[in-house]
Structure 1
Amino acid sequence: MERSRRLDSSGELTQSADIEYLLNAPLLPSHKLYVDTRPRFRPVPTFTVNLLLLLIQVAFVALTCVALFFCIFNGQEEICKQYMAPFNLRTIVVIAKVLLWLLHVVNERFNQYHHCKAKSRGYLKLYWSVRHLKSVPLVTLSTGNAAVLLIISAEDSFGSKNLYLYLIAGVLILELILSVIFVLIYAVRIYRFNRSMPRPDIIEEEYTHSSKRHMMPGIGFRERSSLEDVVEKQGDMIDYLKYHNAALSQKILSLTPEQSL
């Protein structure tokens, strides 16, 4: 009995000593914790790439129209054949269009990757605002490829010899107009986002709600939002919070040995 009491008393003394050591341990500077755990803004590097690809498409359409003008309208078809041999004008245009389409495929994957990274960092509004815009140029060129294939397959049905070339040029110009509109809208949104350097959406919402002291009509709901959008946005927000909590846990574990020293 006496031995057990001694063990208990020694155990209590050891435990109290450990607690006292933890309470009296020096704390880490607050500025160090703040700097290391504060979300760092990382711009979305798709602005320049999309504008460069748009310029390539503009140059392709312009060169195609110039080639059609000199080789068809001016009657210099024989001279053009000498420079384009062993290919003809139609083959060169189709090959160039396929290469341009492949560049758009790579660019769409590039955009998707960086927007998923921005989404994981908490920028959900940006992801939702451009989720369709970033893929519209690829869809436009894919539709144009189908139209060009249909025109070439019906080449023998046209009365004029070069009518199918004019139709292909019309498809290219229509693709360019649609691509310019949507790429510029997308580029403006990305430029404004990178320039404003916002904090993650959940931090901005907490700051706005605390300053306005505005009560929402329901937990997790927003006005003028469908139930499906609300559920999907909440899922994205939960994923970001899980990622952020995991990062903070890793940071706390890495700082624990420093504090014990």
Structure 2
Amino acid sequence: MERNSRIDSSGDLTQSADEDCFLDAPLLPSQKLQSVIRPHFHPVPTVCISILLALINLAYVTLAVVAFYFCLFSGKKKECNQSVAPFNLSTVLVISKLILWLLHVVNERFAHHHHCKAKNKGFLHLYRSTRHLKGLPLIIHSTGNAALLLILSVQDFFSSNRQLYPCLILSVLLLELIVSVICLIIYTVRIYRFNKRKPRPDIIEEEKINAYEGHVNPEIGFRHRASLEEVVEKQGDTIEYLKHHNALLSKQLLALTSNQD
């Protein structure tokens, strides 16, 4: 009994000594902890690129309409052919369309990269709400390329009616312009509003809303009228973000404690 009491007392002494060491350790600066727990908001830098791409689309279709008018409808076909020599008008149109499509590919990859970064920072709702919207202009232009290729491949069938051939091409380009620019405007407005609000990660915003309303949802990502698929998807995204965020916090806290030591 005496020996056990000695062991217990020595253990208590050791434990109290360890606690004293922790209490005597220097505290981490509050500014550094605040910068770790509350990181600065980084906006999604895709607004200017989307606006520029919409303007390029508008300029391309405008130049195509002007070129078709002067080359086919104004009677200045010889001057038009000299201005685009050694190519013809169809070749210039196809090459320009290919360059425009490549710009949309670059824009889609650029937007996808920054949206993945926003997802890793906890902005899951933004990622899901723009997941299909940011790639729609590329899909629209790819469909327009297929339609334009089909019209060019059957241009010999329009020998009896030469005016129908350019009208079909211009109708495809105008329809493509209208739909893609609408998608780009909607996407740009959403990203602009997001950058203007400067929100905190979704999990923190939800905790603030739940605390304000006085209730806590039983599951991560639970919403009334939400389908099971949406709930499971949001749970997976939230868990992935929390794992990434906890790993980042652990690394930064270890670095701070090592600097303090």
Same-fold call, TM > 0.5?
yes
**Alpha-carbon deviations, 1:86-134, whole Å to 9, x = none?**
1111110011001100110111011111001000100011111111110
Q: 1:246 to 1:23 in 2, by over 3 A?
A: same
**Counterpart in the other structure of 1:239:** 240
Runs (4 or more) in structure 1 with deviation over 6 Å come to 6-15
Count of aligned pairs between the two proteins: 254
- Cross-structure match for 1:121: 121
Q: Residue 196 in 1 paired to residue 191 in 2?
A: no
Percent of paired sites with the same residue: 59
Q: Does 1:177 align with 2:178?
A: yes
Deviation string 1:135-194 (CA, Å, 9 cap, x unpaired) is 110000000011011111111112213432221111000000001111100000000000
Letter in 1 for 2:102: L
Paired position in structure 1 for 2:97: 97
TM-score by length of 2: 0.91
Q: TM-score, normalised by structure 1?
A: 0.91
Give distance in 1, aligned partners of 2:13 and 2:213. 51
Contact 2:36 2:249 in 1 (8 A): no
How far does residue 16 in structure 1 lie from its aligned partner after superposition? 5.0
* Structure 2 Cα separation of the partners of residues 254 and 29 of structure 1: 13
Is the 8 Å Cα contact of residues 147 and 171 (structure 1) preserved in structure 2? yes
Q: Which amino acid aligns with 1:165?
A: P
Q: Structure 2, unaligned stretches of length 5 or more?
A: 1-5
What is the rounded CA distance, in whole Å, between the counterparts of 2:258 and 2:250 in structure 1? 14
Mean CA deviation greater in 156-165 or 50-59:
156-165
Q: Is the 8 A contact 1:47 1:190 kept in 2?
A: yes
Match in the other structure for 1:229: 230
What's 2:82 paired with? 82
Q: How does 1:196-215 map to 2 (within 5 A)?
A: 196-215=197-216
Equivalent-residue separation in structure 1 for 2:241 and 2:41 (angstroms): 15
Amino acid at match of 1:46: T
1:48 aligns with 2:48: yes
State the 1:251 CA deviation. 1.4
Alignment of 1:114-193 (within 5 A): 114-158=114-158, 159-193=160-194
RMSD: 2.1
- Partner amino acid, structure 2, of 1:225: A
Change (3 A) 1:125 1:67: same
Determine the C-alpha separation between the residues in 1 that align with 2:252 and 2:43: 23
- How far, CA to CA, are the matches of 1:7 and 1:200 in structure 2? 50
Does the aligned pair in 2 maintain the 1:25–1:259 contact within 8 Å?
no
Distance 1:203 1:15, change over 3 A: closer
Structure 2 residue identity aligned to 1:61: V
Question: Does the residue aligned with 2:122 lie in a helix, a strand or coil?
Answer: coil
Please give the alpha-carbon distance, in whole angstroms, between the structure 2 residues aligned to 1:29 and 1:78: 77
8 Å CA contact 1:90–1:165 kept in 2: the answer is no
SS in 1 for 2:254: helix
Once the 2 structures are TM-superposed, how far is the Cα of residue 215 of structure 1 from its aligned partner? 4.5
Q: Distance in 2 between matches of 1:70 and 1:170?
A: 17
CA distance in 2, matches of 1:32, 1:111: 31
